[in-house]
Amino acid sequence: MLAQKGNRTTPKALALGLLAGLFGMQCAMAGDTSGTMRVGDMQYGNGLDLRGWTPMLHPADPDGMSWLHPGMLRTPTGVLYPYPPRVDAGKPLGSGDWTYSGLLEFGYLHVGGERNAEYFRQYDDWKSGAVLGLFALDFHNHRTGQYVELRGSRLSGDDQFYRLLAGRYGSYRVEGFYRDMPHTVSTNAYPIWNGVGSTDLTLPAPLVAGASTPAQVAAASAAAPRRSIGLTRTRAGLGYEGVLYRDWIGSASITNEKRSGTRLWGGSMFFNFPFPDNGGVLETVRPIDFRTTDVNLSLRNVGKVWHFLATYNGSFFRNHKDHLNFESPFALYNVAGTPQVADIKDGQFSLEPDNDYHNVRLDLSRELKWNGQFSVSGAWGTMRQNDALLAPTTCTGVGGIFIAPPVDYTFQCANWNTTDALSRKNANARIDTGLIDARVTFHPTPAFGWHAGLRWYREDDKTRYLAYNPLTGQYGYISENGSQGSVVPGETGIFDPNNPLYRSYMVTVRNNPFGYTDTLFELGGDWQFGRKSSLGVTYTFDHNWPKYRERRRVDDQRIKFDWVSRGVFGGATVRLSWEYAKRDGDRYNYDPYVQFFSESLPGFVEPVNGIAAHTVADMRKYDLSDRTESKARAIITYPWGESATLSATFYGNRDQYDALIGRQNTRTTGATLQWDWQPTPATTVNAYLGAESSRLGIANVNDADGPDNGKALGTPGQTDPNLGGPLYPFANQWWELDRESNRNGGFSLSHDFGRVRADLRYDYNGSFGHVGYSYATIGALANRVPAAVAAAATGFPDNKYRTNTLDLGLNFAVNRSVGVRVFGRYQTGAFSDWHYAGFDNTLSYDHRLYTDKGGQLHYSVSLVGVMLNLKL
């Protein structure tokens, strides 16, 4: 294709195209010299231009892609290649061999209507004012193959990109870039705290931490100013790729990404149900202040026999905010209605730790007889973090509940609000990975080929942590910063072999070092039937050994058929695929976690009535459950005349899980239809329709753990984990069915009248979701008040999301060097989610406080821009 592009311009352009092809790059004349071993970002753009260089694609070249073939060309599957842009020969730079060309697009943007609508601003920082649409400046030396390219665009200070690319075709390439990418999470947030964006959230007057009433909190929430919650990703990088010595090619790049801003976050101080007077549930705001540095190195050699590639990838994450502390406005009361006297009014979260990742990989391949190839890869990786750990609590005074001697469930905060209460001061966490992947392919005849592969992968978590407090001799951790144990007696979160009150408590004392070893074998063949049809069959056997999971062995067998027919059905290309998979394994152990709980420690005394079951034995986790899966897909591409293509895709996926409790089934079906027509280089028409529906079925059972549900904790029967027993009766079983459907469609038209080019585009997106429930009896419901019973019987209201977007643009050519672009956008949206129902009235409900009201229920927004284009 590159030779054809060059062939229709000049011999110098042909030479540049060949050099670009040898070096694995697209032709520079197309406006982008991206390569297969690209060491920078793969895509540049913003809301003004998703491609990042669209103005350089016009006008289209009426000669098409080749002098040898009139009109347009198609891919082997029948899809039309677009007309390439007309080549700008450039202007001489001095008297040498260098030429230059460029484009400057700038103007003004006006945004009207509900410009702060969340879904309108989600990934674009739209605002009224001056904008830089595109700045492009290219220098080329057609004799030596050297080039320098600069691209830039700026929608706003948080939405811009710049890239500098320089090199010599077939020799080397150097790249530098900088870009900002906004992500608006909410434009409808009302946090009550001071210090939003910092690590310490404090309450404003007149609220007092741990001593405010629900009415006072509701008033503060109603008076809170509206805020936007979101972050900005800033990426910058440098990269080099080039010939080091003879056939040796090396590349190196370093990329730094900074994320700064805020996001919505939880803030529990023990739950609000069924005890209304306690610390409650709070939605807070956490800070985002991350920095990730990625380093990539590679060395490759394509020899006469062996092909060699060695790579190193390193990623270094640094979080400049290691914690989030927040003041809770509500007081704590225990189950007896007595207020908590300890200073437990703060919540604490440990945020993401600093961590490092290293991966080294070696790939070798060589040609074999019978048109064959052998390749083998090996890799080793490690992920590590050794951040300093935070103290288990921040409380002061005495927490817990004192009933009467000797029933004393209190704890001294001073023994837990210090890092001396930790078994070690740093995380010392590490996960190592290993990979060996071998593959062989043969095509002994043009009509038959086969391949086989064997892949081994291991993930080994070497982290070992024991939650032990050397100051007290106790194990575990203080739950919910002390609030939980100060509301319910004994739920402090600790195990103490020397205290009769705590020596029978089941708490987590060790981390679970999850890991697995996976071996995958693949065998397949393909047959060519004549020149127009082919059949492919692939069998895969995946053998997985999970560590510290409910199963020690999981086997997944899969067979896939692919049929491709070109031109048999009225000139259409038809691609059909179907695959069937069956997963099973050894015996399912619903409780493999004994060694990570206090029952595994010396001094643990089993309760008189036995250890209560923590989950129902019939539960099957979806990634380990027996499963039957089938997938089907049909892709049809029909060349409609000489200048149009009609394509359609139909697909369906179905999973059936063998589980009484857990995920039951999933199903997805969808279809897309697209028509592309380009009768002349001046006219392009596209239309598309898409639809997808999915469903997910889940079953579960409510445990009978309270007086109103048949059993109290600690009574006989709590140790029975079986479905149908006293703890998990059939009467408490319930089922959930989630259904979702998505629809999208659009139409676009572009026509060049000569001095004026018009562009019209319309897009529709709609999503509808429904959550429905059914249950055996009302014992399945955690909350059995009449309103909850009625809601469970009918299911929740549908979630709905719709947008309609209309774009219109006119490009006027004043002369060969000056142009004017006028464009506009009108967008409407509708949003409805039952999770946010009622938030328009208040964000405060008893001891529950929310921050975000959700997306706008209805919005309409307009955008108008005027841009001046100058060819440099």
pLDDT digits (tens, 9 = 90+) for 806-831: 999 999 999 989 999 999 999 999 99
What are φ and ψ of residue 550, in 5° steps? -70, -20
Task: With CA atoms as reference, report the closest residue to 699 among 665, 667, 672, 673.
Answer: 665
The 3-state secondary structure of 569-581, one letter per residue: ECCEEEEEEEEEE
pLDDT of residue 736: 93
Given a cut of 70, whether residue 15 has pLDDT beyond it is: no
Tell me the pLDDT band of 14, cut-offs 50, 70 and 90: very low
Terminal-residue alpha carbon distance, the chain = 29
pLDDT of residue 752: 92
Task: With CA atoms as reference, report the closest residue to 138 among 124, 150, 152, 155.
Answer: 150
pLDDT of residue 711: 52
Q: What is the pLDDT of residues 16-59, one digit of tens each?
A: 332 233 233 333 333 333 344 444 566 788 888 888 778 877 77
Name 822's bridge partners: 810, 866
Most confident residue range from 166-170, 443-447, 690-694: 690-694
pLDDT of residue 96: 87
Q: Is 838 exposed, middle or buried (0-12, 13-18, 19+ CB in 10 A)?
A: exposed
Express as a percent the part of the chain with pLDDT over 90: 70
The secondary structure of 167-211 as a DSSP string is EETTTEEEEEEEEEEEEEEEEEE----BSTTSSEEBPPTT--TT-
Name 843's bridge partners: none
What is the pTM for the complete model shown? 0.89
Mean pLDDT of 584-613: 94
pLDDT of residue 342: 66
Given a cut of 70, whether residue 710 has pLDDT beyond it is: no
Most confident residue range from 191-205, 264-278, 768-782: 191-205
Mean pLDDT of 77-102: 86
What are φ and ψ of residue 731, in 5° steps? -65, -20
pLDDT of residue 8: 34
Choice among 175-184, 347-356, 785-794 with the minimum mean pLDDT: 785-794
| Alpha carbons 835 and 766: distance in angstroms, whole number | 18
Both tokens of 717, joined, read 């029967």
pLDDT of residue 70: 63
Which of 28 and 274 is assigned the larger pLDDT? 274
Choice among 84-93, 712-721, 735-744, 841-850 with the minimum mean pLDDT: 712-721
| Alpha carbons 11 and 19: distance in angstroms, whole number | 12
pLDDT of residue 42: 64
Average pLDDT, the chain: 89
Given a cut of 70, whether residue 716 has pLDDT beyond it is: no
Half-sphere exposure for 477 (CA within 13 Å, toward CB): 21
Q: What is the pLDDT of residues 480-533, one digit of tens each?
A: 999 989 888 888 999 999 999 999 999 999 999 999 999 999 999 999 988 889
Residue where the block lists tokens 């910063």: 481
Express as a percent the part of the chain with pLDDT over 70: 92
Answer for the pair 831, 801: CB distance below 8 angstroms, yes or no: yes
pLDDT of residue 853: 94
Both tokens of 337, joined, read 């209605």
Q: What is the pLDDT of residues 136-158, one digit of tens each?
A: 999 999 899 999 999 999 999 89
Given a cut of 60, whether residue 713 has pLDDT beyond it is: no
Most confident residue range from 4-18, 20-34, 535-549: 535-549
Mean pLDDT of 78-99: 86
For the chain, what is the largest distance between any 2 Cα atoms, rounded to a whole number of angstroms?
Answer: 100
